[in-house]
């Protein structure tokens, strides 16, 4: 079947293969609107291999063999995860060789937006599981200094701690 998953959407606008409804706390309502953005995100990238593939692509790995060699993942699993990431327009396949035809994988704008989420996971792992200190330190390319990640209020221009965060229905929330 040709086209991306987004191009192959059904009449309700959902990509083919996505459920019309969810049962018991799934990530979609009967009309397909996300109930929880975290659950919807985890449906796409929530397994270990997808996150590690994205980590490798952010670090510059582009080719199947590079990713497979670094992760030691079975080829069938890597192929499946790459296809899913392409179908959800997080990665795109770009030909780099004609004979035989071979592709590399590049981040789309949607995929690049996952950078802060991966950095947050990395920082959490560094804090709670890296007993000898962070195994990798992310630095600002131009000055070489380590990066910090913070949640800021754009109105107050202040850092916000987890205890000061509240939630309320957003514009995408559908009435129950």
pLDDT 10s digit of each residue in the chain, 176 long? 444 444 444 333 444 444 333 333 445 544 555 578 999 999 999 999 999 999 999 999 999 999 999 999 999 999 999 999 999 999 999 999 999 999 999 999 999 999 999 999 999 999 999 999 999 999 999 999 999 999 999 999 999 999 999 999 888 887 76
Find the domain containing 134 and state its range: 46-164
* CA distances from residue 60 to 53, 85, 125, 130, 153 in whole angstroms, order as listed: 11, 16, 21, 23, 32
Look at the chain and report how many structural domains it folds into.
Answer: 1
Within a domain: 9: no
Within a domain: 39: no
> Residue 67: which CATH number?
1.10.10.10
d(CA 27, CA 36): 6
Within a domain: 14: no
Within a domain: 34: no
Within a domain: 107: yes
Within a domain: 72: yes
32 three-state secondary structure: coil
Within a domain: 27: no
Instruction: Note whether 34 and 40 are within 8 A (CB).
Output: yes
Within a domain: 145: yes
């Amino acid at each position: 079947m040709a086209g991306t998953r987004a191009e192959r959407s059904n009449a309700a606008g959902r990509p083919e293969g996505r459920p019309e409804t969810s049962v018991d706390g799934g990530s979609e309502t009967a009309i397909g609107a996300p109930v929880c953005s975290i659950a919807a995100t985890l449906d796409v990238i929530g397994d270990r291999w997808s996150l590690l593939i994205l980590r490798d692509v952010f670090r510059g790995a582009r080719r199947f063999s590079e990713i497979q060699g670094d992760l030691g993942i079975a080829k069938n699993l890597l192929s499946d995860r790459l296809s899913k990431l392409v179908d959800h327009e997080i990665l795109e396949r770009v030909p780099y060789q004609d004979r035989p035809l071979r592709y590399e994988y590049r981040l789309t704008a949607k995929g690049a937006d996952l950078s802060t989420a991966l950095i947050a996971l990395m920082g959490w792992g560094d804090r709670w599981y890296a007993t000898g200190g962070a195994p990798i330190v992310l630095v600002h390319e131009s000055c070489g200094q380590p990066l910090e990640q913070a949640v800021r209020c754009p109105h107050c221009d202040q850092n916000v701690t987890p205890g000061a965060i509240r939630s309320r229905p957003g514009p995408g929330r559908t009435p129950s």
